Structure 1
């Protein structure tokens, strides 16, 4: 019984003090809520700036590419520019007819959006071996990447090349090759913007 009279109050005291540790002082709570509201407002402002930046970039690119066979698609945090840079069958040489569009693209990025990351995606038609097509798509992407860097003037650290080869989900004309598959032998430029 004596143990119960000693342990009882100690147990009660520990339960009460544990319960008190769950409470937050009003000024600490208000301060935390104020900090969260400030952070939320700052993030909302950054998001609005980024959306404005994307809208501006989209308008600039639409204006520059109106005379070229290019389409611009806005994705989450990215712009996809399907270029008219097409390649001959089995070749990765950039043609003279495609260079003016790439010059326009480089000028917009270099002058107005130098912080973006540009991914050059290379594609092929489905003729030939898949491994060869993956390699050929990369050679096409590297040819355009090199052109965007020199003479285009883009930062080499902000341009990368990838190949999708003959990926059936990315073909413009599935199954088409040779003369009818010219649209599949292309590059696409993807612009990633992070503030």
Structure 2
């Protein structure tokens, strides 16, 4: 083999080895990048699962609270001799994030009156001998005694409106929980809006 030919072969070998080395490095980098992508996706999935678990926990807590207040309403109605069957039918909730209760006031908004008029029509259409417990709730702003009064005033405003819709007064009662039964975090504006509410528990 001549010297130029030998030199070219050597250079070609070096280039080939360099290419293989570069290819191996690129492969490692590609695998490393793909692992990072998969890790990122797994992390995202874990976050979504955690979010779903948290949401389910909130739902379970809310259901437990509804069952608790509905059970208390049943006991009060039974004690008053108001029930025919003694069972919970459904609950209608007017919360500040949807019907806008005025701050520190009990006046019903047009949105709340519309929801109540629809409820009254439903009750009259079903034509059942139902009993309503109207529960007033507030957020944690202000002192507990004030919030209990405000909850009662809001519940009573609902009772008066339903009475004007031909729902018999003797088939309705009011109770205030004040700030004691929150359904959301009182540390956020959205949570406080959800806690300012009136729940109408329909019993038969």
Which residue does 1:3 correspond to in 2? none
* Mapped partners of 1:103, 1:123: distance in 2: 21
Unpaired stretches in structure 1, ≥5 consecutive residues: 1-72
Measure how far apart 1:111 and its partner are.
2.8
Judging by fraction of residues, say which structure has more helix.
2
Structure with max Cα Rg: 2
Contact 2:132 2:173 in 1 (8 A): yes
Measure how far apart 1:91 and its partner are.
1.2
Question: Paired residues, what number?
Answer: 118
**Corresponding residue to 2:114 among 96, 100, 105:** 100
Which residue does 2:101 correspond to in 1? 87
1:142 is the counterpart of 2:156: yes
Contact 1:141 1:187 in 2 (8 A): yes
TM-score, normalised on structure 1?
A: 0.55
**Equivalent position SS for 1:128:** coil
1:126 is the counterpart of 2:119: no
Which residue does 2:182 correspond to in 1? 171
Which residue does 1:158 correspond to in 2? 171
Which residue does 2:194 correspond to in 1? 183
TM-score, normalised on structure 2?
A: 0.53
* Mapped partners of 1:178, 1:88: distance in 2: 14
State the Cα RMSD in Å. Answer: 2.2
Contact 1:90 1:136 in 2 (8 A): yes
Measure how far apart 1:176 and its partner are.
3.5
Measure how far apart 1:86 and its partner are.
4.2
